[in-house]
Chains A and B, each alone.
Chain A
């Protein structure tokens, strides 16, 4: 680990611990696809995006749309770590009267820029945010995280076409390409490849990275900022369940909460990695 990423690594490990704790406490939720996106979310909220947790509705802020809304645990954990709301709130996740809904609710949670959960809709909304920025001559950027199973939704491709047509170069999509969805591997359920060719054909600038490398995530965001006249998609190769040995690449952990014992084992592993 390079020194310049040590702080991010600490945040990621805390985020992973919180994902495990909150899904365990909720007895439900989606740890697998949350864990695969930890480095992306940590990099976005702690390095890449211009945000002010004290002022979540700041009109000039960069926006983030979690189009794969079921990965709410990673978003909530990172928002709490960034200071949008107290960490204690995370233990209310998915419970009655909580501000942390199963899937993100922009009306209830500070820092959530769009309500999502029904797959396929986030990119279109991000388009609209990016378009509004252009109309207002603002320099904010819009980020959206898609799942790889999610791109099976037709609406994603409607939005992909529109983003390129309107040259939304202030829009950057990350594709969390962990290769798994509820019923199994993408390749078995409904093949999504070749992803690079598809997005290129739709008029996007495409970057392929290791989605767990802070350097590659940050460099990709920088490149996206420099590319003019087209939106950028960063296809981030990730490991579903990353960081918890028994969850890694295990399709069963898409939408299943760990038991207390499993959670304790997971946290032990994370402490070893962290050296704490």
Chain B
């Protein structure tokens, strides 16, 4: 994997190219445009950029009104304020009438870093996927972000796109990458267990798989970029073919990817599984790296869990 960029940077750049292609695209922000990177769109298309000030409810409500009148609004702020403060306008003014609003929420998860727990949203996937009509996407790297943002602009209906603050390694090659709505991607083949990851945990899962291969354990790595609707088929096949599943996400273990995968498995093909995520606790200030280490979101944690499940499966300890 090569050095990459933060998914928010990829979002900001993609918005600018989309803005040049489609004049229905408008962008709204709530005084965080320099951080969410919508500032790039604001500079390129000032007449189609609207700063709402620090008022996230109005941000979403106005986006709904613009969508109801034929625009394709991208509304951005931090994940905490989008999914938290504006939850109800999202639910009632966007999702219920199925309006064509794209909520691109940056600074999700622990890797917000130094700002601390108040700004580290680890509940947004749970909140957003519970809402009918909502699609939830969490891209792994810059390439996937660009493709996801483009797909969201073409899709008619509400979409929540979860983006991060920190730089992430590039997982995908732009030339060969294809984004399919609601379809996961098998990043690495393997039969001994499967790691199902989303967002920044995808490259971490790839690292873990490489380490496990050295111990003779061949692990499949699946990137679930669309958490809702989730790719049931791919998950069920992974469970059938590997018999052990580890999920990895930069989100609470309650209600996020791990829960979504567990729901699929429990109803269709129960296999031993383990959820790696934030274990029902708030974060704290620190560097992104230190936080991932402290809260158990590293390749080492994944390796340990896979080994444990694989050991149970084969009777080897």
Contact = CB atoms under 8 A, between A and B. Distances in A.
Contacts of B93: 114-116, 118, 121, 124-125
B97 A115 contact: yes
Nearest to B88: A118
A121 B98 CA distance: 16
A55 to B, nearest CB: 15
B48 interface: yes
B29 to A, nearest CB: 12
B55 interface: yes
Interface in A137-166: 154-155, 158-159, 161-162, 165-166
| Central interface residue in B53, B61, B71, B93, by most chain A CB within 10 Å | B61
Contacts, number: 109
Contact of A158 (B57, B68, B71, B88): B57
A73 B60 CA distance: 27
A265 interface: no
A227 interface: no
Nearest to B60: A124
B53 A161 contact: yes
B89 A128 contact: no
A166 B89 contact: no
B69 A107 contact: no
A126 interface: yes
Nearest to A132: B69
B53 A129 contact: no
A125 B62 CA distance: 5
Given A128-B69, A155-B89, A107 B98 contact: yes
Nearest to B47: A135
A118 B53 contact: no
Given A124-B61, A128-B61, A128-B67, A106 B97 contact: yes
B312 interface: no
Nearest to A69: B92
Contact of B62 (A115, A118, A128): A128
A127 B52 CA distance: 11
Contacts of B98: 107
Interface string B49-61: 0101101011011
B121 interface: no
B97 A131 contact: no
A130 to B, nearest CB: 7
Interface in B27-71: 47-48, 50, 52-53, 55, 57-58, 60-71
Given A155-B58, A158-B55, A130 B65 contact: yes
A113 B53 CA distance: 26
Contacts of B63: 128
Report the contact-size class of chain A (Cβ under 8 Å from the partner): 20 to 34
Interface in B87-125: 88-89, 92-93, 96-98
A114 B63 CA distance: 13
A107 B95 CA distance: 11
Nearest to B48: A135
A31 interface: no
A176 interface: no
Interface in A30-79: 59, 63
A61 to B, nearest CB: 11
B26 A127 contact: no
Contacts of B53: 158, 161-162, 165
Given A114-B97, A115-B92, A162-B53, A127 B62 contact: yes
A184 interface: no
A124 B96 contact: no
A110 to B, nearest CB: 14
Interface in A176-226: none
Max chain A C-beta neighbours (<10 A), residue from B58, B71, B73? B58
A118 B70 contact: no
Contact of B65 (A118, A128, A165): A128
Contact of A127 (B61, B70, B71, B92): B61
B47 A124 contact: no
Nearest to A65: B65
Given A124-B93, A125-B65, A128-B69, A158 B50 contact: no
A132 B68 CA distance: 9
A107 B100 CA distance: 13
B62 A135 contact: no
B62 A131 contact: yes
Contacts of B26: 135
A128 B55 contact: no
A255 interface: no
Contact of A124 (B48, B62, B70): B62
A135 to B, nearest CB: 7
A133 interface: yes
B153 to A, nearest CB: 17
Given A105-B97, A117-B92, A131-B66, 11 more contacts: A114-B65, A116-B92, A118-B93, A121-B88, A124-B58, A124-B65, A124-B89, A125-B62, A126-B65, A158-B53, A165-B53
List the 7 closest pairs (A to B, CB-CB), nearest first. Answer: A128-B65, A124-B61, A132-B69, A158-B55, A158-B58, A128-B62, A125-B65
Interface of B: 26, 47-48, 50, 52-53, 55, 57-58, 60-71, 73, 88-89, 92-93, 96-98
6 contacts: A63-B69, A107-B97, A114-B93, A125-B64, A136-B70, A162-B53
